[in-house]
């Protein structure tokens, strides 16, 4: 299992690709499979950990990304013959090793970092088995072996019925995620807004978010770890997801809903594959509709919201979906 090096696996707070890698790794180990996780040396896993990079580069500016990602991937593919399947969560670079070994390579495309990486994906189409994280994120130029929606260990996201009066924004505090729009919707709906997440774009934060943060109606909490998540996210009236891009999946959606917290989301990307409109939240096309949806959110059955995730987005379901793909690749290889 190849994890990224940007954050620890699992992440301390932010790091969606690392989080999915960790959850799948642990799910496979629980089922009795022998798994080696290639990740940063501070990672935590019940699998065998193989690490050359001491710390995540997003947490330690002294880490030279090119140097350590080269050593990281060399560490994987120098051992390729030891494994039945190699599962890549590291974006496009591992694909360039595809012709240098005979071990089946599965690549989950969590997101395209740029259109400029597409030539790599196209060149190695067929040498690696591409998995989409949603049907909405499938690129027509590529061939996929399947779509596997993310899943989480729902038992780690306790159902909360003790709701407070706040809405929550959860994730990267930037334009793509719609932080400024969430502030506007919360204000117009007359609700407090708690903001939890990293700030990747300081200029955007200072211009579009900070002027509204007053510590009362709009509160910026910074990155929020799992210990505080159940209180901040689980006790919210709803999650605002006013994204300005076609998001491939949206882990924050299922994290919120697992706690029983409904979601109000723009109808973009994979949102309609994740949210059951009118049951686990609302899909909207503009901010006016979002304000109306916030007023309607308290009428939703939070237990039904929780059950929606339990039925469709559990770690067990994700693990079994990937095992089906692994088995199919191995059966094809034996023919």
Give residue-wise pLDDT tens across range 68-111.
Answer: 999 999 999 999 999 999 999 999 999 999 888 999 999 999 99
- HSE-CB at 90 with a 13 A cutoff on CA atoms is 25
Q: How confident is the model at residue 136 (pLDDT cuts 50, 70, 90)?
A: very high
Q: Could you state, in order of their start, the residue ranges of all structural domains in the chain?
A: 16-151+314-334, 154-312
What is the per-residue pLDDT for 230?
A: 85
Q: How confident is the model at residue 13 (pLDDT cuts 50, 70, 90)?
A: confident
Averaged over 5-26, what is the pLDDT? 95
What is the per-residue pLDDT for 333?
A: 77
| Same fold across 16-151+314-334 and 154-312 | yes
Give residue-wise pLDDT tens across range 246-304. Answer: 999 999 999 999 999 999 999 999 999 999 999 999 999 999 999 999 999 999 999 99
Structure tokens at 29: 């180990």
Percentage of the chain exceeding pLDDT 70: 99
pTM equals: 0.94
DSSP code string of 262-329: -EEEES-TTHHHH--BTTTEEEESSHHHHHHHHHHGGGS-HHHHHHHHHHHSBHHHHHHHHHHHHHHH
16-151+314-334: which CATH topology? Rossmann fold (3.40.50)
154-312: which CATH topology? Rossmann fold (3.40.50)
Percentage of the chain exceeding pLDDT 90: 92
Averaged over 103-123, what is the pLDDT? 95
What is the per-residue pLDDT for 305?
A: 98
Residue matched to tokens 């499979």: 33
What is the per-residue pLDDT for 335?
A: 57
Q: How confident is the model at residue 332 (pLDDT cuts 50, 70, 90)?
A: confident
What is the per-residue pLDDT for 111?
A: 93
List of residues 6+ apart from 220 with CB closer than 8 A: 173, 195, 209, 210, 213
What is the per-residue pLDDT for 226?
A: 75
Averaged over 129-143, what is the pLDDT? 98
What is the per-residue pLDDT for 19?
A: 96
Structure tokens at 64: 């030279």
Q: Where are the alpha helices (DSSP H) in 127-262?
A: 179-189, 202-204, 226-232, 251-258
What is the per-residue pLDDT for 22?
A: 98
CA dist 118 and 107 (Å) reads: 14
Average pLDDT of the chain is 96
Give residue-wise pLDDT tens across range 189-244. Answer: 999 999 999 999 999 999 999 999 999 999 999 998 777 888 899 999 999 999 99
The residue among 105, 110, 69 whose CA lies nearest residue 87 is 105
CA dist 50 and 215 (Å) reads: 43
The helix/strand/coil state of 223 is coil
What is the per-residue pLDDT for 93?
A: 95
């Amino acid at each position: 299992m190849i994890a990224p090096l940007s954050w620890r696996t699992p992440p301390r707070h932010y790091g969606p690709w690392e989080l999915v890698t960790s959850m799948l790794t642990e799910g496979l180990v629980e089922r009795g499979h022998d798994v080696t996780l290639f990740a940063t040396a501070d990672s935590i896993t019940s699998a065998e950990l193989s690490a050359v990079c001491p710390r995540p580069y997003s947490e330690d500016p002294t880490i030279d990304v090119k140097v350590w990602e080269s050593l990281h991937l060399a560490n994987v593919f120098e051992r390729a013959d030891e494994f039945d399947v190699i599962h890549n969560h590291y974006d496009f670079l591992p694909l360039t090793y595809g012709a240098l070994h005979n071990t089946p390579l599965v690549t989950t495309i969590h997101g395209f970092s740029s259109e400029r990486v597409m030539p790599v994906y196209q060149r190695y189409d067929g040498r690696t088995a591409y998995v989409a994280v949603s049907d909405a994120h499938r690129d027509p130029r590529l061939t996929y072996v399947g779509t596997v929606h993310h899943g989480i260990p729902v038992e780690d996201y306790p159902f909360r019925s003790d709701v407070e009066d706040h809405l929550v924004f959860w994730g990267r505090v930037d334009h793509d995620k719609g932080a400024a729009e969430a502030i506007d919707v919360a204000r117009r709906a007359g609700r407090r807004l708690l903001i939890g997440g990293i700030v990747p774009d300081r200029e955007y934060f200072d211009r579009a978010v900070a002027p509204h943060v007053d510590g009362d109606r709009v509160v910026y909490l910074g990155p929020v770890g799992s210990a505080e998540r159940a209180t901040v996210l689980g006790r919210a009236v709803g999650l605002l997801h006013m994204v300005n891009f076609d998001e491939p999946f949206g882990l924050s959606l299922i994290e919120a809903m697992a706690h029983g917290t409904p979601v109000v989301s723009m109808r973009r990307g994979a949102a309609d594959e994740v949210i059951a409109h009118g049951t686990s939240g609302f899909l909207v096309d503009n901010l006016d509709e979002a304000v109306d949806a916030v007023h309607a959110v308290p009428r939703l059955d939070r237990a039904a919201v929780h059950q929606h995730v339990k039925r469709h987005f559990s770690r067990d379901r994700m693990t079994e979906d990937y095992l089906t793909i692994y088995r199919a690749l191995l059966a094809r290889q034996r023919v």
